[in-house]
Amino acid sequence: MVFEHLRDLFDPKDSINNFSQLFPMCYYVVIGHIPRSITKALGATRLLILAKPSTSIQPIAIGEVFYWLVNRTFYFKFRDAFATHLSPHQFGVAIKGGCEIMVHNIPITLDIHFDLVVLQVDITNAFNIISHRVIFQKYPTHG
């Protein structure tokens, strides 16, 4: 499914539409009351290959748009609850500028906790060529 399918199916401006069914559909996905075959379909990803100027190729994965819609819908509905429950132990959910806060707090944290270490890895195209499993086997975390 692509965005245009959702727009055509659930257009709120259309007098005869299924827009009122959109939230219940999202709800059933979130609580897991859908057939396994549909769950697998929602986890599907379209793969595209883009040619790069350097004659190499770049694989691009595009996730299922309805699954994205479900996640986005419930994130916005419950973001205040997420922030309340997860704070102050995380900076990625419902925290504006969370990445910047984390980066600026690293030196302070290291000054307080001498037993901690920060590993920064800067590798070109690392996502596609470095195995995260190998990194964590070589440098296991404790705790």
Q: Which residues are within 8 A (CB) of 23 and not within 5 positions of it... i.e. 6 or more apart?
A: 73
Confidence of residue 127 (pLDDT cuts 50, 70, 90): low
Q: Which two tokens stand for residue 86?
A: 């997860």
In this prediction, residue 113 carries a pLDDT of 92
Q: Report the C-alpha gap between 58 and 127 in whole angstroms.
A: 12
Q: What is the DSSP track for 13-64?
A: TSSS--GGGHHHHHHHHHHT-S-HHHHHHHT-EEEEEEE-TTS-EEEEEEE-
Q: What is the pLDDT of residue 14?
A: 64
Domain boundaries, given as residue ranges, for the chain: 3-138
Dump pLDDT digits (tens) for 42-89.
Answer: 777 877 888 777 777 777 878 788 888 888 877 777 888 888 888 777
d(CA 115, CA 143): 12
Q: Is the pLDDT of residue 27 over 70?
A: yes
Q: Of all residues in the chain, what percent carry a pLDDT higher than 70?
A: 76
Residue 143: predicted pLDDT: 42
pLDDT at 70 (0 to 100): 82
pLDDT tops 90 at residue 111: yes
Predicted local confidence at residue 112, as pLDDT: 94
Write down the pTM of the prediction.
Answer: 0.49
